């Protein structure tokens, strides 16, 4: 049994309603507490205060409460893993070779331009279609020339100086999980490396119900 089902069962057994929960658990701010409690019922098990209050309440406390916590946590871990798999499959299906920019800072300042325009405009350089070919020395050299021209004659809207700070590397993602590293200061490709697609979404900003991913 999950935590939301267990709490609903307890309330029903004691002829109580949702509105009785704040006073039952000793809260002096009912509206705010109910919002937190609803989040807890939805699976936010990080609210230690809510859990402690439930454990101190004779109506909720006990072995079945602890089991419901465990089941809920296991279910959310399972859903999280499934969501990662689904996200990876979607990212692979949508992948096209491109240049990803690594900047000096991982979090933008100011944040709002990124929230307004999205992250790609500050991070991604599209690769000309005639350069999207299997890697061999000539193609690598042509992409290097293309990037050096970009540095020397950047377009009006470019990725060299953004809210993320100064650009330090270009990563040519020629496949979903592999890339060539272009050192901007040395003006050349230096090595190849594994590309962890999850690394481009390690931090989030939610603005007006929109999630913005930062590398």
DSSP states along 134-163: ---HHHHHHHHHHHHHHHHS--SS-SSEET
User: pLDDT of the chain along its 215 residues, tens only?
Assistant: 899 999 999 999 999 999 999 999 999 899 999 999 999 999 889 999 999 999 999 999 999 999 999 999 999 899 988 988 898 899 899 899 999 999 999 888 898 888 888 888 999 999 888 888 888 889 999 999 999 999 999 998 899 999 999 999 999 999 999 999 999 999 999 999 999 887 765 444 444 444 555 54
Element spanning 165, H or E: strand 165-175
Integer Rg of the chain from CA = 25
Instruction: Give the pLDDT of residue 43.
Output: 87
Q: Where are the domains of the chain?
A: 3-91, 95-214
Instruction: Give the pLDDT of residue 213.
Output: 53
* Alpha-carbon dihedral 67, 73, 76, 81, rounded to 10 degrees: -120
Predicted structure pTM score:
0.66
Coil/strand/helix, residue 119:
coil
């Amino acid at each position: 049994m999950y935590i939301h089902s267990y709490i609903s069962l307890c309330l029903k057994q004691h002829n109580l309603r949702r509105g009785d929960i704040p006073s039952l658990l000793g809260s002096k701010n009912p509206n705010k507490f109910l919002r937190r409690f609803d989040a807890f019922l939805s699976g936010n098990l990080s609210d230690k205060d809510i859990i402690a209050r439930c454990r101190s309440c004779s109506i909720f406390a006990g072995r079945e409460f602890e089991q419901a916590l465990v089941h809920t946590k296991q279910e959310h871990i399972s859903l999280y893993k499934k969501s990662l798999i689904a996200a990876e499959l979607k990212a692979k299906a949508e992948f096209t070779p491109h240049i990803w920019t690594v900047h000096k800072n991982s979090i933008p300042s100011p944040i709002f331009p990124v929230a307004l325009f999205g992250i790609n405009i500050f991070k991604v350089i599209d690769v000309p279609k005639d350069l999207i070919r299997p890697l061999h020395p000539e193609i690598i050299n042509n992409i290097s020339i293309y990037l050096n021209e970009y540095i020397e004659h950047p377009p009006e809207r470019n990725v060299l100086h953004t809210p993320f700070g100064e650009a330090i590397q270009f990563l040519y993602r020629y496949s979903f999980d592999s890339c060539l590293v272009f050192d901007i200061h040395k003006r050349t490709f230096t090595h190849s490396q594994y590309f962890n697609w999850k690394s481009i979404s390690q931090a989030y900003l939610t603005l007006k119900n929109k999630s913005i991913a930062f590398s």
